[in-house]
Amino acid sequence: MSTNADLDCLRALERKVLWLSTWTIHNANHIRPNRDGLKVGGHQASSASLATVMTALYFHVLKAHDRVAVKPHASPVLHAILYLLGRQSRDKLERFRAFGGAQSYPSRNKDGGDVDFSTGSVGLGVAATTFASLVQDYLSLKGFLGNRPIGRMVALMGDAEIDEGNVFEAMLEGWKHDARNLWWIVDYNRQSLDNVVSDRMFARVDDVFRTTGWDVVILKYGKLLEQAFQQPGGEALRKWIDDCPNSLYSALVYQGGAAWRARLKRDLNGTNGLKALLDGHDDDALHRLMTNLAGHDLETVLEAFARADDDRARCFIAYTIKGHGLPFAGHKDNHAGLMNPQQMQTFRRSMGVPDGAEWDRFAGLDVDADRLERFLGEVPFAKAGTRVLAAPEIRVPSIVLPRTPKASTQEAFGRILDELGRGDSELAARLVTTSPDVTVSTNLGPWVNRRGVFQRNERDDTFRDEKVASTQRWAQSPAGQHVELGIAENNLFLMLAALGLSDRLFGARLIPVGTLYDPFVMRGLDALNYACYQDARFMLVGTPAGITLAPEGGAHQSIVTPLIGLGQDRLAAYEPAYADELAAVMQWGFGHLQARDGGSLYLRLSTRQIAQPDRAPSPALAEGVIAGAYWAVPPQPGAELALAYMGPVAPEALAAFEALREDVPGAGLLAVTSAQRLSADWRAAQAARRDGAAESRAPIERLLAPLAEDAALVTVLDGHPATLAWLAGVGRHRVHALGVDHFGQSGDIPDLYRAHGIDAAAILDACAAACLGR
């Protein structure tokens, strides 16, 4: 099979990639010395096993519009390839793993435009490619891609990543949505971090892929071995390798030619043709032969990629050797291994790289530099220009809700989306919602009724066709704007990660909104963190939340999520109490998630119907809501007490406040909508003052300024009390923080609020204690 590849150039580059990646690690100052004074932690072995596959991909197969997730420890290989392509600087490589240098693990935001998906937490980058392929389909079927060609979403994954449940979850979801244009290439080096991967487990893996609709390509033997198998004794040799346990194979790889010879002589004693085969190879040649796995055989790899020319989801299982080409290849302890200086000298000689020429792009290669330069100039991936795309911002229409005497924030959320769905704004056209099987119970139902469910292929709504009455009209078609997911919260966050990068990955903007039950934010936390780490932009709605969910019981009541909101980088967390506050947050939020220096949003909402304040929307109110707090009742100057509440405990706070006003007339009532915003702005103001901007004041500092110096603050929310307890530090006030710090249980709201000490009586008690303690 012809691959039309310039094999001489590719072979030379494969060699250079191995050299440069290994050298980059060796050279890095920031790799810690171990007890013997040697540096460890560099993952030279783990990186090396993908040198061939990545050479084939980046220098021949990939197109500019393809997108790749590179396994964390292959980052030096990626950096080396980009360096050869003139897309990475020597300076960054010299500072590999150091501050400001090339990152240890590929990072979208820190390594620049050629890293499509960050990786590091194993399993997530792999699964992200599935969701990116779904997003690409979504955009393409809606005509949002313009004339941009369809790209392939590629994951280069370690074999141990298969152990991560989120990989399987993504496979099932991908199958349901008929994911295509997807390649997963397993670096089957049969080693993970601690050990050699179980043989038994991998015998099942290709089955799993096939069951979920993948085409599986097994890349096992390279050309040398395939030729040897044709010779007398070859069949026996193949069987011996096929049956060889991973651990024995790895050990022999480490030991080298003489060990192979001894072992084969012993195990295949008497096999016809074996003697000739062994005699025909010296130790080096025998080692080369026995380690000629397909994942290190450039031609075999290129041919396999060339054959895969349709859009089916395809898994390549590439047999490789961890540390191939390096002295510790195959050793089970080599995961974080690094060559010692003598080994490095030997390796350098074998690579033909003179001292001082380590960064030379072509030193030691047997292909002329001009020819290589010309070849590199023609590499399709290099013709990409910038690979970080952009899309214009979408105008946010005015979001107003008709006032109702009572409402819950969750219901208001549903009505806002319903209203957007009814209109014809561009924002509505670009909105895409997604939920892991809680679409209806998080109030997305009306929006979905209007906008439909997304599916590649039109599917009828059987209940409607059979004339069975239902409030849900769920026709599925490419025009649908809701992606219904199975109950796997990891998938929700990975879907949001992919949707929320759509402008930068595909040049078309989407406004993703995802809903889930608030406690299950924790279930997908690593994937949420991953989405934020990549600066994906989305609106996450956790609802219902807290013990306010009363009768549902402790398993469904979230406690810690406000602290997650407080601590998660690039996520603005809000917990409004009233519908008009939510409308203001969403109005601003749809812009924030598009702004260059913006971020994602997390709205913690509730099903509790509470009386709504009688007020018209105003810019001043919106400003306070977005800044994170406003005075519902401003304190008198020098007030000795303020009560701060956040979220659906507003009625309890109001009741307590009314009662205490008689005794503490000047007290203030602070409505907090975002502990996170208050805290972030406070820290920013402190930093600005340290930098000399003496006048800088954060909103919360201005808000608390009228209070007496020795005033007390009582804070309350349906969530962990620490969320607001830090307010003590702002004006050096004493804080009595109320909230929930133990698992909830079934009950009604009055019972549970009483049991957890966040009812009006408990608030009043705390206020009394605070005043007495002055």
Ligand X SMILES: Cc1ncc(C[n+]2csc(CCOP(=O)(O)OP(=O)(O)O)c2C)c(N)n1
Decide: residue 146, CB within 10 A, 0-12 exposed, 13-18 middle, 19+ buried.
exposed
Cβ neighbour number for residue 558 with a 10 Å cutoff: 27
Give the full edge-to-edge strand order of the sheet including 431-436: 476-477, 453-454, 482-485, 431-436, 511-516, 539-542, 600-604, 571-574
Q: Which does 46 bind (CB under 5 to 8 A by kind): ligand X, Mg ion, none?
A: ligand X
CA distance 281 to 274: 11
Q: Is 408 in the site for Mg ion (CB under 5 A)?
A: no
Backbone angles phi and psi of 534, in degrees to 5: -85, 0
Instruction: Report the nearest approach of ligand X to the CB of residue 205 (Å).
Output: 12
Could you say which of 14, 111, 116, 159 contacts Mg ion (CB under 5 A)? 159
Q: Note whether 26 and 339 are within 8 A (CB).
A: yes
Q: Note whether 622 and 693 are within 8 A (CB).
A: no
Q: Is 158 in the site for ligand X (CB under 6 A)?
A: yes
Nearest to 542 by CA among 613, 612, 474, 492: 492
Maximum distance among all Cα pairs of the chain, rounded to whole angstroms: 104
Count of residues engaged in binding ligand X, rule: CB under 6 A: 18
Q: Is 169 in the site for ligand X (CB under 6 A)?
A: no
The one segment of 157-165, 246-254, 542-550, 737-745 that binds ligand X by CB under 6 A: 157-165
Contacts of residue 731, defined as CB under 8 A and 6 or more positions apart, other chains included, come to 701, 704, 705, 707, 709, 711
Nearest to 409 by CA among 622, 614, 650, 631: 650
Q: Which does 6 bind (CB under 5 to 8 A by kind): Mg ion, ligand X, none?
A: none
Site map for ligand X, 91-130, x if CB under 6 A? Answer: -----------------------------xxx--------
Residues 306-325 close enough to bind ligand X by CB under 6 A: 322
Instruction: Report the nearest approach of ligand X to the CB of residue 721 (Å).
Output: 31
Q: Which does 52 bind (CB under 5 to 8 A by kind): ligand X, Mg ion, none?
A: none
Nearest to 362 by CA among 39, 105, 15: 15
The one segment of 190-198, 239-247, 373-381, 675-683 that binds ligand X by CB under 6 A: 190-198
How wide is the angle at C-alpha 650 spanned by C-alphas 649 and 655, nearest 5°?
105
Q: Is 159 in the site for ligand X (CB under 6 A)?
A: yes
Give one word for 120, left, alpha or beta, with left for phi > 0 and alpha for psi -120 to 50: left
Closer of 167 and 237 to ligand X (Cβ)? 167
Q: Which does 677 bind (CB under 5 to 8 A by kind): Mg ion, ligand X, none?
A: none
CA distance 452 to 464: 13
Could you say which of 191, 212, 300, 439 contacts ligand X (CB under 6 A)? 191
629: number of CA atoms within 13 Å, CB side? 31
Closer of 326 and 621 to Mg ion (Cβ)? 326
Q: Is 119 in the site for Mg ion (CB under 5 A)?
A: no
Q: Is 334 in the site for Mg ion (CB under 5 A)?
A: no
Instruction: Report the nearest approach of Mg ion to the CB of residue 197 (Å).
Output: 6
Could you say which of 46, 409, 434, 442 contacts ligand X (CB under 6 A)? 46
Q: Which does 125 bind (CB under 5 to 8 A by kind): ligand X, Mg ion, none?
A: none
Could you say which of 160, 274, 713, 763 contacts ligand X (CB under 6 A)? 160
The one segment of 108-116, 158-166, 394-402, 628-636 that binds Mg ion by CB under 5 A: 158-166
Residues 176-215 close enough to bind Mg ion by CB under 5 A: 189, 191
Q: Is 6 in the site for ligand X (CB under 6 A)?
A: no
Residues 329-388 close enough to bind ligand X by CB under 6 A: 335
CA distance 354 to 348: 8
- DSSP per position, 391-425: ----PPPP------SEE-HHHHHHHHHHHHHHS--
Residues 603-632 close enough to bind Mg ion by CB under 5 A: none
Residues 54-73 close enough to bind ligand X by CB under 6 A: 71, 73
Q: Is 189 in the site for ligand X (CB under 6 A)?
A: yes
Q: Is 201 in the site for ligand X (CB under 6 A)?
A: no
CA distance 652 to 740: 15
* Residue 47 tokens, joined: 């990186």
Instruction: Report the nearest approach of ligand X to the CB of residue 188 (Å).
Output: 9
Q: Is 250 in the site for ligand X (CB under 6 A)?
A: no
Count of residues engaged in binding Mg ion, rule: CB under 5 A: 4
| Chain contacts with ligand X (rule: CB under 6 A) | 46, 49, 71, 73, 120-122, 158-161, 187, 189, 191-193, 322, 335
- Residues of this chain that bind Mg ion (CB under 5 A): 158-159, 189, 191
